[in-house]
Amino acid sequence: MFVLPILISLIDAPGGGGKLRHVHLPEKFRRVKSSNLHDFIERYDEYLEGCGGGNKCTKCRAGSWGDMDGGGNPWMYEKRDGPYYGLQNYTCHMCTKHYCTENDCVARCHVCDRAYCDDCVILVECGKCRLKVCAMCRGGGMGEDKRDDDCGGGWACEACVDDYDDRDAVPPDAAMVVSHS
């Protein structure tokens, strides 16, 4: 993890408060769960908490985020055994503006683990399980469009396509389901 010293130097730089707005650690980094990575995650969480910036949602201006409001998740998921370990909360992956999760102002794609606001990327919800997928992952063949309402109608994620009982309802010209690892 040669990138950690660079990231640490950015958050430790004198007068550097607020310059680093978003870090998306790849899954292969997050799987390692080394003590150096965990130390960085904790330090970056404290750094983001210190940057605050009014603590109001960019979209609804009502919601707040982070531990500063006395509730909610930290800026960075710190639970080593959790599925979102090392991911940043409350920040759109594209515009890097901060949003609350109270009013669905930002949502996370369950395939690529990136969070997006509605202004940057529309997430499509599976009609069966309600998981959300961003346009990039959906465009990459992650799931299929359904022509009937047996699966909730609309789009179905890869897992629900696999569980879908009525194979005749899957149109022959539907996008091929691609395995994502």
Q: What is the mean pLDDT of the chain?
A: 74
Dihedral (C-alpha) 90, 94, 96, 102: value to the nearest 10 degrees? -20
Q: What average pLDDT does range 157-178 have in this prediction?
A: 50
- Report the DSSP pairing between strands 132-134 and 144-145: unpaired
Q: Do 23 and 88 contact (CB within 8 A), yes or no? A: yes
Amino acid at 78: E
**Range in 73-82, 111-120, 137-146, 164-173 with the lowest mean pLDDT:** 164-173
pLDDT above 90 for 8: no
pTM, full prediction:
0.73
What is the structure's pLDDT at 164? 53
Task: From 49, 47, 42, select the one nearest 64 (Cα to Cα).
Answer: 49
> What pLDDT digit, counting tens, does each position of 48-103 carry?
887 765 567 888 887 666 544 445 568 888 888 888 899 998 889 999 988 887 77
Q: Where are the domains of the chain?
A: 3-106, 122-171
Burial of 48: CB neighbours in 10 Å, binned 0-12, 13-18, 19+: buried
Answer yes or no: is pLDDT of 150 > 80. Answer: no
